Structure 1
Amino acid sequence: MIRSKSKLKRSVRFLLNILLRNNINKINHIGENTYISKDCYFGSPKNIIIGENCSINNQCWIIGSGGIEIKNNVLIAPRVAFFTSNHNYQEKTVLIREQGYTFKKITIEDDVWIGYGATILSGVTLHEGCVVAAGAVVVKDVPPYTIVGGVPAKEISKRI
């Protein structure tokens, strides 16, 4: 009996932590018929715009410091991460943590599918109809109707 109470307390604490931290209610805009899993995390949500008919699945991290625009009919698998900032590191006589950050917007155009565990880095545009394979790390723009995968992500093929 004590075990189940303890487990229940941990579960309630976990859920409350997610609901209080994910900031979903502070997102700039969420379009109609869009699904967002409750265990996603949104950093700087005021800089995030999500279009219509999108699906954002479990445990995604969407850090919008530099701005993120997700257009319509976008599918985002579980554990996808979006990072719109980078540490500056060019000056070797100054600690990296003291050099500040660079912020660049991420844009996801219509009809894009991002596979499980992919990472999308700052300044990237995923153009219309492209597909990002599971586990890919996208560091540059992906042309329309192109399938990319790998680390760093490279073209695998075109959608025909």
Structure 2
Amino acid sequence: MIRKMIFEFYQNAKLKRLLNRLKIIGVNNKISSSTLIFYPERVSLGSYIYIGPNAEINGLGEVEIMNGVIIGPNLVIHSANHNFKNSKYIPYDETFDFRRVIIGENVWVGGNVIITPGSNIGEGCIIGAGCVVSGTIPPLSIVIGNPCKVIKSRDSEHYYRLKNENKIYLKEKLIKNLKPEINLNYNE
């Protein structure tokens, strides 16, 4: 029990130091103490963001995560890649190709998602568990798979009504102490 408390104290202190080095950090974020951020001075986080356990964010090419984003466990974000085109060596050389990653407002990223360099996830998207995201995902898209593909879109009228009412989940949870509702009616 004491070892666990000491470990958690150490993890939280390490995370706090890391977050203090970010390019931009908003307010009321819940970030797992097991999160790793490489090149934090090139990472920007908005407000009311949740990042689940074991995330790895490589900010070398810059990463921006906007307000209201919810991220499940085991996220991996790469924002740079080794140069292999006309490289001096094989399989690649010492040159990096920087590609900024942007995750728009109110995006929900499921567990075990990989986001590749240069990806731009539009506002309000839902990224299914296990996706490999590459390229631009249009706003309000629901995507699944590897490589990910858009399977449908969110109801834009409903989404923008809630956004205009400032009904952001983590914000509401922190202010009003929301508790999850569990629907045990499997017929719906």
Q: TM-score w.r.t. structure 2 length?
A: 0.73
Structure 1 gaps of 5+ residues are none
Using the alignment, how far apart are the partners of 1:96 and 1:18 within structure 2? 38
2:67 aligned with 1:72 = yes
Tell me, what secondary structure is at the counterpart of 1:23?
Answer: helix
- 1:143, 1:121 → 2: CA distance? 16
Gaps of 5+ in 2: 156-188
Aligned length: 154
Aligned pairs (5 A) from 1:139-158: 139-158=134-153
Cα deviations by residue, 1:50-109 (Å, 9 ceiling, x for unpaired): 001111111100110011111111101111111001111123762234252101101111
Task: Tell me how far 1:25 sits from its aligned partner.
Answer: 2.6
- Residues 37 and 23 (structure 1 numbering): CA distance in 2 closer, same or farther, change over 3 Å? same
RMSD: 2.4
Give the Cα separation in 2 of the matches to 1:23 and 1:53. Answer: 18
| 1:51 is the counterpart of 2:43 | no
CA distance in 2, matches of 1:40, 1:143: 27
Matched residue, 2:124: 129
Q: C-alpha distance in 1, partners of 2:18/2:92?
A: 26
Residue 142 of structure 1 deviates from its aligned partner by 0.5
Identity of aligned residues (%): 29
Report whether the alignment pairs 1:61 with 2:56. Answer: yes
Which residue identity lines up with residue 145 of structure 2 in the other structure?
G
